Amino acid sequence: MVNQHNMEKIERMAILVDGDNAQAKLLKDILDEVAKYGKVTIRRIYGDWTTTHMNSWKALLNDLSFTPMQKFSYTNGKNSTDGALIIDAMDILHAGLIDGFCIVSSDSDYTGLAKRIREEGVFVMGIGVNTTPSAFVNSCEVFTYIENIVQEPIIEKRIIESSEKAGTKKSKAKSKDESSSAKFPKVPVEKIDKAYFMSTPEDTGIYVSQLGLNLRKTDPSFDSRAYGFQALSYLLKGIRDYEVYKNDQNSHLMVKRKDNK
């Protein structure tokens, strides 16, 4: 599996799930998301498995090949899962067993862990809800919001449909577009411009994947799905000042700013 942002192969990934701070019903979607970045060889879910709170996870353990990691709650109201997950992560890191981590939690207590992993030059991503504290989000190389994973993207279909129509049909599609896209925030074109010029001072074109990497450098949580597009290339096609095309040599997607003079 090739990392879609830096085009480097991540041979082995570890996914560590804070069972007290994540939803069991989304585990399959989370696993599919992590698999985009590498082969998930270590899969662990942390929590007190003697409590009824963890029952929703039990049916998924065998189906998705996760290992339950027991951590007793010795103090009421205190999440002891954090410490167990962090200790295990450091053991895995120093054993050199993996090339990348995914921490599934919305808890800022994992900020230090993410920073420490990055200091070792190891890829680290996070997955959590959109209210996850920015400290944890910005400590990861990539942070994906659960809401972006599970929502149904609609603008990609709109762009494809409207680009194939003309005249009155196109006008009709436009009115449909305006109502369907109202649920998504405005695309931050200024942020995309900044990421584009990080790679080239001219309008000569860069790989779409490189632009994605630059966007993640400036904002680890940047995700085209937050704006209703399944992929960055579709989002770029919807911006008037950009043109997406295929490289003649390797057929990889490229993007460049149009000459609007």
pLDDT, residue 180, reads: 52
pLDDT, residue 8, reads: 60
CB atoms within 10 A of CB 86: 18
Sketch out the chain's domains with CATH numbers.
13-150 (3.40.50.1010), 155-257 (3.30.420.610)
pLDDT, residue 259, reads: 73
pLDDT, residue 79, reads: 56
Q: What is the pLDDT along the chain (261 residues), one digit of tens a residue?
A: 334 444 466 889 999 999 988 999 999 999 999 999 999 999 999 998 998 889 999 989 999 999 999 987 665 544 566 888 999 999 999 999 899 999 999 999 999 999 999 999 999 999 999 999 999 999 999 999 999 998 766 665 544 343 334 344 444 444 444 545 567 888 899 999 999 988 877 777 899 999 999 999 999 999 999 998 989 999 999 888 899 999 888 888 999 988 755
pTM metric for this prediction: 0.79
Residues contacting 98, CB < 8 A, separation 6+: 12, 13, 14, 41, 42, 92, 122
The helix/strand/coil state of 128 is strand
Beta strand pairing call for 242-246 and 253-257: antiparallel
pLDDT, residue 179, reads: 46
**Cα(257)–Cα(238) distance, rounded to whole angstroms?**
13
pLDDT, residue 4, reads: 42
pLDDT, residue 250, reads: 80
Can you list the positions of beta strands (E) in the chain?
Answer: 13-18, 40-47, 67-70, 100-104, 123-128, 142-145, 206-207, 242-246, 253-257
- Indicate the residue type of 137: V
- Both tokens of residue 12? 């082995």
pLDDT, residue 53, reads: 84
Question: How far are the Cα atoms of 1, 29, 36, 42, 233 from residue 12, in angstroms, in the given order?
Answer: 10, 19, 12, 8, 27
pLDDT, residue 75, reads: 55
